[in-house]
Amino acid sequence: MNRKRILLTLLGVLALVFVVAACAQQPAEQPAEQPAEQPAEKPAEQPTEAPAKEVDFVTWYQYDQNNEDPKSDERVGNQYLRDTIPQFNEAFEGKWNWVNQPKAFDKMTAELVAAVQAGGDVPDLFEMSNTQDMVDFYRHGTVQDLTDWAMAQSWWNDLDASAIEACKGPDGKLYCIPISIRPQVVYVWSDRFPDGFSKTPEAFLEDSERLKAEGLYSMTFFGSTDKGGEGLTRAMWTIISSYGGSLDDGQGNMKLDWPETIEAIEFIRHIVQQGYIPEIAFAGGFQEEEAFKDASAGSFPTGLFGYRYVNPLTAPDGTKYDTGSAEDMLNAIADGQVVITHSFAPEGKKPGCGIDVAGFVIPVGAKNVEAAYDYINWIMSPEQNPAWVQGPGGGFPALKATQEHELFQTPFYKQAAEAVGASACRPWFGSLQRPNEAQEMVMQVIYKLIKEDPTLDIATELQKVQEEYNANN
């Protein structure tokens, strides 16, 4: 009898735990419907109801306003938040109080997806730093549809068309607001390439041989499989796209065995096997930067925003740029020691590069959507937009009006604009709907082909990977 009662009580407790858990999960069930409806109901242009007292407006940035370390990698963004949080709070005094919760750059996307699914606390606004996150957000029903609201705003028609495209989900709806366009470029020590950076792969091989004879490397890049295959999005894609290659068939299937892609990988394999690339390029953990910092490698294809992290620098002539901050690279560029340029490309082809957008998404379950709308409009204002693009954005303005701002007339931005203007930039994942999975798989096979076993047949290995990926389409 007693045993039965104990059993029944335990079952009761178990049922109670399930009920509590199920109740806690309720908000996670909302994502599917919410995105389409919410923005349409509350256009920001309409005067919003003033809350009775100041309400917290919560954001997730990868930057930390409380980190005042001048040598912090994220110094630029940290300073930006320190400067602008008081400005926003003053502009919306009595209405919103901006509270930023700093997050790790490589964990925040997963954290948001998990938080929305679990019905946990989500921010009112999330700083999105690359386009492929948007694909994941869409797949998980993490973010709200902003189409109707965004199209009703005064700045909509001034947005760069390609930036808008990058923010669209597979269903054609807008899920993010682009603020900054982040291209991939090539940083070059001008003394290592006295006649300018190589224009063709053949010229690059000649320069590489010359530098090798001097005990130097012609290039360093993110060559490891670390960080989920992040290297693919950088130098690998820059070279593949410069050869005219692709990683998809335009229909959502992975297709790696394009002749141009194979040719590009063959070229990368060659420069690795010839010893033109330092070993540190394959160590992961962003250690490839070391070879550019001490100028032992002459060039470094990476993101435009990379200038913030690659420091301190020692130029080929021994000049030191050692403040240990983003100023080092900017000063080296201003002195003509470093130039920003585009990739080389085979004769008759336009250099390629990867491109991303940084901007904002509003998570499903955000408590204060009105504040998020106000914040985006505030950031889009001529007074605030340039600072965001230069600060957290680390790229070019998505708003055409901001492109003319004096902040973007420096040697750094002018050179970058020329490099991007001479290139055909596109997102590396094309029509692929599972970019994170694809990124990891493709970078692993490229690593295998260029470094681990250079005797393998490129086409065969690429076909194996694309078949494995496409089997799950």
Residues in contact with other proteins by the rule CB under 8 A: 2, 6, 9-10, 13-14, 17-18, 21, 29, 31-32, 107, 109-110, 113-114, 117, 136, 138-141, 169, 171, 224-228, 278-280, 282-285, 287, 290-291, 434, 436-437, 440, 444, 447-448, 451-453, 464, 468, 471-472
Indicate the residue among 141 and 354 with the shorter CB distance to other proteins: 141
Nearest alpha-carbon partner for 443 in 155, 223, 175, 150: 223
Minimum Å distance from CB 113 to other proteins? 6
Closest distance of CB 185 from other proteins, Å: 25
Nearer to other proteins, 51 or 275 (CB): 275
Nearer to other proteins, 21 or 52 (CB): 21
Q: Parallel, antiparallel, or unpaired: how do β-strands 352-353 and 424-425 relate?
A: parallel
Complex with other proteins: residue 13 or 50, whichever CB lies closer = 13
CB of 141: closest distance to other proteins in angstroms? 5
- Nearest residue (CB) to other proteins, 225 versus 341: 225
Q: How far is the CB of 278 from other proteins (least distance, A)?
A: 6
Q: Which is nearer to other proteins, 127 or 136 (CB)?
A: 136
Using the minimum distance from each CB to other proteins, give the nearer residue, 293 or 342. 293
Cα→Cα distances 100→70, 82, 143, 444, Å = 20, 10, 19, 36
Nearest approach, Cβ of residue 159 and other proteins (Å): 24
CB of residue 453 vs other proteins: minimum separation in angstroms? 7
Instruction: Find the shortest distance in angstroms from Cβ 16 to other proteins.
Output: 8
C-alpha span between 132 and 137 (Å, rounded) = 9
Q: Which two tokens stand for residue 340?
A: 């920003």
